[in-house]
Chains A and B, each alone.
Chain A
Amino acid sequence: MSRHVEVDAARCTGCRACMLTCSLRRMGETRLSGSAIQVFSSADEGKHAPIVCLACPSRPCIEACPVRAIVDADDTPLLDVKRCIGCRACIAACPYGAIGYDEALGKAVKCDLCDGDPLCVSVCNAATTMPGALRILDGPPSAESLDAAQERLANAESWRCQESRHAR
């Protein structure tokens, strides 16, 4: 059965402990682009958008990969970094913007649910009585959850677009 990291963006404070933790576990170093979860913040830091793979039912990333580096699994599709050629086809295919790109390695970055106990969730929910923005849920994401993921992506892109418009 699939599981996924459920996101409640209203509870995110933009601390990015999840990114620091994820990259340390995956890479043995902290590097923001090495994290499989990305947190975007609005320019004035009032709003935040954590973006991570939801293990969605359609899983277009699998089909998109030209070298079959992404294989399906019960919990979530798994990316074999050794096979990845960094073409970004999976990134383009994901409707939720949930696959990242590691600038240093030149390869895709995808959540593997930390073998079932995602560390991003445990550092976000460090206290049992103080729920964070992330939690692990059994089963596929609900329709509302997928809508919310698209809204987070739209928010993150709008925050980025404003800047690139001026950059030109």
Chain B
Amino acid sequence: MPGDRNAAVGAMTGRLLWVDLSSGSTESRPNDLKRVREYLGGRGVAARLLWDLVPQGLEASSPENPLIFMAGMLTATPAPASGRITVTSKSPTTGLYVKSSAGGHFGEALKFAGFDGIVVQGAAERPTILVIRRGIATLRAASDLWGLPADQTIDRLREHLGTSAAQVACIGPAGENGVAYAAVMLSHHNAAARAGVGTVMGQKRLKAIAVVGEAGISYHDPERFLNAAIRARRVVAEDPVSKSLFVFGTSGGIGPANEKHRWPTRNFQFDLHRHAAELGGENLKRGGYLAGRVGCSSCTTSCHRYSVAEINGDRYAGGGPEFETFGSLGAGLDLSDIRYVIGAGILCNRLGLDTISAGLTIQWAIECQQRGVLPESIRSGYRLQWDDGRELLRLIRAIAYREPGLGNLLAKGTAPASEEIGGDSWRWAIQANGLEQSCPETRISKAYALAFAVNPRGPDHLTAEPMLPEFTTPGALDLLEELCGADPDLRRDDSTDLREVIVRYHEDLYAALDATGLCAFTGTCAYSLRPGHVAELISAATGWELTGEDVMEIGARIVHLERAFGVRDGRDRSMDTLPWRILHDPVRSGPNEGMTTSPEELDRMLDRYYTLRDWDDQGMPTRSALERIGLDDVADELEKLDRLGSAESRP
């Protein structure tokens, strides 16, 4: 039963809910303590479960592919910004491992309901919902919820259950209709959106999970934990980056990015957006669109916005837009009217679409039109041009409902769509390994380029966010010097030197933060918390007495397991790559004119990164790399499948 303290360590419930949609059964099982010790929670425990449950080569669209929701180890505690939850599966979009994490209050409610996580297996025959209340899980028919947008699904479930304390994870029409980049929505605006985790939920015909959390979470040493949490909160909140994120949101960073000519517009054809002053966090505030700030569970920063805009008599009110949404659904489309970015972001949230892939796919289509390669039969009925907000809203709906023609084509994402259209259209599909890239300018920022190339789920910023060389906050300057020494050239964003050291630190710490449930804005991408702070929080909660080094080792273990998952399925060096345009199509103007991250440059960084990781020249982990962090069994399995890195073939 939930609340069985014998199975629990501090700050965790000690239980996992296993759901088999094929048989319609649910079962509460202990959350294995050895696994928790090795992987903490969240992304870590979920990655291990996925490795154990998914055999080599499993089709991601198979009902056997699990969908795992795992709250952070410290979620539902007052540790700073600790409300993150991770959604993990094998992606039907990329065929790769995917973890997609989100904030909000769902993870908190799940733990108060008595579960650290949910493992969903099988597929339901008919649309289904899962309700967890008073420690009891029940599967019910989704009936009138199927077909509803995410916000209405959440509101109606709260009405049915009679409490606003219910937290809901659900899919919108995009997930039901099999759009390749459907999101799992964890509130009206908190999304686990990347690489099709919502597509998996749709394939399982699981419309929603509603959780009412009423129980408590206990601690090894409550007083020590309280003190550690308050100290850590102060460290995060005093960081200048936290303050800026509170005032302007994530999109406060757009002005500086544009000034430095690294704010991609028109599908990464240009790097300076002429309407950047109108499209960003400062104008959200100045223009009167900002109606409030929204904090995820236990947040110190509250970077989320709540925005309101009216477009032709329609009112759009909701969370966002975030930095990336301003990129993919704003600057990328060369929009000039901020209201359409607000509207498009909210529409994607309602329909359950990843804003990054939706925006990049529409940008790809407009460039196809610009270059005259889209057949009339497909584009008929749509205007495809830059800076057309009204048409953008139509296109988003067409994608979510897979309307015949263009909507259905774009619902597949840029890689399959460009294969279908043919010609050179793959060259301006801003994707690698089937995932559309997020908007950091990886032709210029080499740390991002390396991190994106080796990211197990494809090219984006959510396994490592190496802002370090760009930041001048005291925490960032100290950390860079510690990692790389004092050479001022290393602070250049376009330097390729020691990027492997920077990326490794970010990857390992990011994985550990995702496992504890702490937001990236505490330790990577902002630099207030160090591994030692995280270790003290975990130690006070559990009594384990971890050090900062232990935390980084756990992070490295997660990173290696995720890598092994890819390698087992055939990932090698050839897949550690970036979109074609980033590698071959230089920046066209401005101070960075002529820049790419060339294949040679990427190769050099990969060689050094593999060496640092003790992987072979194909990017496959060696036995010694895996055994060093206790992954002996993973090394054994890779060896059995002839996928273990060779100690003789070093880069």
How many residues of B are counted as interface, with CB atoms below 8 angstroms from the partner's CB atoms?
59
Known: A32-B112, A127-B238, A163-B162. A45 touches B306 (CB 8 A): yes
* 24 pairs, CB–CB < 8 Å, chain A vs chain B: A13-B299, A15-B296, A16-B295, A17-B298, A20-B76, A20-B77, A21-B230, A25-B226, A28-B218, A28-B222, A29-B216, A30-B78, A31-B214, A33-B214, A41-B164, A45-B187, A46-B306, A123-B233, A126-B80, A126-B234, A126-B238, A128-B238, A166-B160, A166-B162
Inter-chain CA distance A159–B306, complex, in Å, is 18
A100, chain B: closest CB distance, angstroms = 13
Interface positions, chain A 97-134, Cβ under 8 Å from B, are 103-104, 119, 122-123, 126-130
Inter-chain CA distance A31–B295, complex, in Å, is 19
Secondary structure dominating the interface of B? mixed
How many residues of A are counted as interface, with CB atoms below 8 angstroms from the partner's CB atoms?
43
B523, chain A: closest CB distance, angstroms = 16
> Is there a chain B Cβ closer than 8 Å to A44's Cβ?
yes
Inter-chain CA distance A14–B299, complex, in Å, is 9
Report whether B216 and A30 are in contact in the complex, using a CB–CB cutoff of 8 Å. yes
Q: With a CB–CB cut-off of 8 A, which chain A residues contact B292?
A: 10, 13, 46-47
Report whether A29 and B222 are in contact in the complex, using a CB–CB cutoff of 8 Å. yes
Compute the total of residue contacts between A and B using a CB distance below 8 Å: 140
Known: A20-B78, A45-B188, A45-B189. 7 other contacts (CB 8 A): A15-B302, A16-B105, A21-B229, A30-B78, A32-B214, A33-B214, A123-B233
Nearest chain A residue, comparing its CB with the CB of B165: A32
Known: A15-B299, A123-B230. A29 touches B218 (CB 8 A): yes
Q: With a CB–CB cut-off of 8 A, which chain B residues contact A17?
A: 78, 233, 295, 298-300
Q: With a CB–CB cut-off of 8 A, which chain A residues contact B225?
A: 24
Report whether B230 and A30 are in contact in the complex, using a CB–CB cutoff of 8 Å. no
> Is there a chain B Cβ closer than 8 Å to A160's Cβ?
yes
Q: With a CB–CB cut-off of 8 A, which chain A residues contact B78?
A: 17, 20-21, 24, 30, 123
Interface positions, chain A 115-165, Cβ under 8 Å from B, are 119, 122-123, 126-130, 159-160, 162-164
> Is there a chain A Cβ closer than 8 Å to B317's Cβ?
yes
Nearest chain A residue, comparing its CB with the CB of B293: A13
Known: A126-B300, A127-B238, A167-B160. A31 touches B188 (CB 8 A): no
Known: A122-B230, A167-B159. A13 touches B222 (CB 8 A): no
Inter-chain CA distance A44–B112, complex, in Å, is 21
Report whether A167 and B162 are in contact in the complex, using a CB–CB cutoff of 8 Å. yes
Report whether B293 and A127 are in contact in the complex, using a CB–CB cutoff of 8 Å. no
Contact partner of B237 (CB less than 8 A), chosen from A23, A27, A130, A164, is A130
Interface flags for B267-278 (1: CB within 8 Å of A; 0: not) read: 000000000000
Interface positions, chain B 201-257, Cβ under 8 Å from A, are 213-219, 222-223, 225-226, 229-230, 233-234, 236-238, 242-243, 246
> Is there a chain B Cβ closer than 8 Å to A96's Cβ?
no
Nearest chain B residue, comparing its CB with the CB of A20: B78
Inter-chain CA distance A71–B88, complex, in Å, is 52
Nearest chain A residue, comparing its CB with the CB of B215: A31
> Is there a chain A Cβ closer than 8 Å to B294's Cβ?
yes
Known: A46-B306, A126-B233, A127-B237. A163 touches B158 (CB 8 A): yes
Inter-chain CA distance A128–B239, complex, in Å, is 11
Report whether A16 and B298 are in contact in the complex, using a CB–CB cutoff of 8 Å. yes
Inter-chain CA distance A105–B640, complex, in Å, is 55
Q: With a CB–CB cut-off of 8 A, which chain B residues contact A32?
A: 112, 165, 213-214
Q: With a CB–CB cut-off of 8 A, which chain A residues contact B77?
A: 20, 24, 30
